[in-house]
Chain A
Amino acid sequence: MNDPVEFLGPAERLVGVELVDDWIVTERMKRDPGGTGQSRSACYRAKKGTAIAFVKAFDFRGEEKNRTVDQLNDMTAEFINERRVHEICRDNNFTRVTTIIASGGTEVDGEVVHYIICEYAERSLRELHPPGEQVTPPAERLLALRQVASALEQLHGASIAHQDVKPSNAVKQDGVFKLTDLGSSSCKHLPAAPHDQEWFAGQSAYAPYELLYAERGSWEQRRLGCDVFLLGNMAFTSFVGYSITAFVVGVLPDKLKPFSGYNVRFSEVLPDLIENHRSMIPEIIQVCVPAVIAKEFLALIDTTCHPDPERRGHPRNILGSGSRYGLERYTSKLNQLAAIVGKLGVAA
Chain B
Amino acid sequence: MLPHRSSLSQVIRSRQVIPRWNSAVNSAALGERSSVRQFTVSDHAQRSLRVARKEYELHQSEATANEYLQTASILGLSQDPLAIDIAEKFRRVPSAMARARTIQATDVVTNPTVTPQVLSVADHHAWASGKVHRLRAIVRETSDRPLVWSELSRQYLILGEDDKARRAMKAALQLAPDNVYLTRCAVRMYTHLDEHAVAMKLLHRHNRSEGNPWLLAADVAISSTIGKTSRNLRHAQDILARDRTNSHNLSELAASVGTVELERGSRKRGRELFTKSLIAPTENSLAQAQWCVSNGESLGIPESAWDVHSSHEATALASRSAVDFATMIASCRAWFAEEPFSSRPAALASTACFDPELRASAKAFATLGLEYAPANSDLLNNRAVCHAYDGSTELAFADLSAAINTPGFQHYGIALATLGLICYRSSEPKLGRECYEKSIHFFKNSGETESALRASVHMAIEESRFDLAEGSRVLNDVRDRCRRVDRSRFPELSAVLTVADRTIPTSTLANVSNLINQNVPAKNQLAHFEAQLIRQIPEGLSSAWLSLD
Contact = CB atoms under 8 A, between A and B. Distances in A.
Contacts of B70: 205, 242-243, 245-246, 250
A153 to B, nearest CB: 26
Interface in A234-248: 240-243, 245-247
A149 to B, nearest CB: 21
Contacts of A257: 74-76
Given A131-B66, A242-B97, A33 B24 contact: no
Contacts of B51: 1, 33-36, 203
Nearest to A285: B96
Interface string A231-273: 0000000001111011101111111111111111101111110
A35 B47 CA distance: 9
Contacts of B41: 259-261
Contacts of B100: 247, 251, 280, 284
Interface in A192-218: 198-200, 203-205, 207, 212
Interface stretch (B115-123, B139-147, B324-332): B139-147
A190 interface: no
A255 B67 contact: no
B28 A271 contact: no
B6 interface: no
Interface string B36-58: 11111111111111111011011
Nearest to B249: A262
Contact of A205 (B67, B178, B179): B67
Interface residues of A, number: 67
Interface string B165-194: 000000000011011111000000000000
A308 B510 CA distance: 74
B109 interface: yes
Contacts of A262: 31, 34-35, 38
Given A4-B54, A276-B110, A250 B74 contact: yes
B50 to A, nearest CB: 6
Contacts of B470: none
B131 interface: no
A32 interface: yes
Contacts of A126: 63
B343 interface: no
B31 A255 contact: yes
A132 B67 CA distance: 12
B91 interface: no
Interface string B110-150: 10000000000000000000000000000000101111100
Contacts of B107: 275, 279
Contacts of A241: 66, 94, 96-97
Nearest to B172: A271
Given A30-B59, A204-B74, A270-B176, A251 B101 contact: yes
Contacts of A259: 41-42, 44-45, 75-76
B103 A203 contact: no
A283 to B, nearest CB: 6
Contacts of A284: 96, 99-100
A264 B48 contact: no
Contacts, number: 197
Nearest to B74: A249
A287 interface: yes
B75 A204 contact: yes
B110 A272 contact: yes
Interface string B147-159: 1100000000000
B73 interface: yes
Nearest to B181: A268
B280 to A, nearest CB: 13
Interface residues of B, number: 67
B259 interface: no
Interface string A274-298: 1110111001100110000000000
Given A254-B76, A271-B147, A263 B34 contact: yes
Nearest to B27: A253
A22 interface: no
A271 B66 contact: no
Contacts of A272: 24, 28, 110, 147
A309 interface: no
B96 A240 contact: yes
Contacts of A247: 96-97, 100
Contacts of A31: 58
B48 A204 contact: yes
B178 A267 contact: yes
A279 B35 contact: no
Given A132-B96, A261-B41, A264-B34, A203 B75 contact: no
A130 interface: yes
Contacts of A167: 63
A30 B55 CA distance: 9
A255 B248 CA distance: 13
Contact of A5 (B58, B109, B179): B58
B95 interface: yes
A188 to B, nearest CB: 23
A204 B53 CA distance: 12
Contact of B28 (A168, A249, A256, A267): A256
B104 interface: yes
B176 A255 contact: no
A107 interface: no
B25 A268 contact: no
B501 interface: no
B24 to A, nearest CB: 6
Interface of B: 24-25, 28-29, 31, 33-52, 54-55, 57-59, 61-63, 66-67, 69-71, 73-76, 94-97, 99-101, 103-104, 107, 109-110, 142, 144-148, 175-176, 178-182
Given A4-B54, A260-B41, 13 more contacts: A1-B43, A168-B55, A204-B75, A246-B70, A247-B97, A255-B31, A261-B39, A262-B35, A268-B179, A276-B104, A279-B107, A283-B103, A284-B100
Interface of A: 1, 3-5, 30-36, 126-127, 130-132, 167-168, 198-200, 203-205, 207, 212, 240-243, 245-247, 249-265, 267-272, 274-276, 278-280, 283-284, 287-288, 311
27 contacts: A5-B54, A32-B55, A35-B51, A36-B44, A130-B61, A130-B62, A198-B44, A204-B52, A241-B66, A242-B70, A245-B70, A246-B97, A247-B100, A252-B28, A255-B28, A256-B34, A257-B74, A262-B38, A267-B178, A268-B180, A271-B24, A274-B144, A275-B24, A276-B110, A279-B104, A279-B109, A279-B110
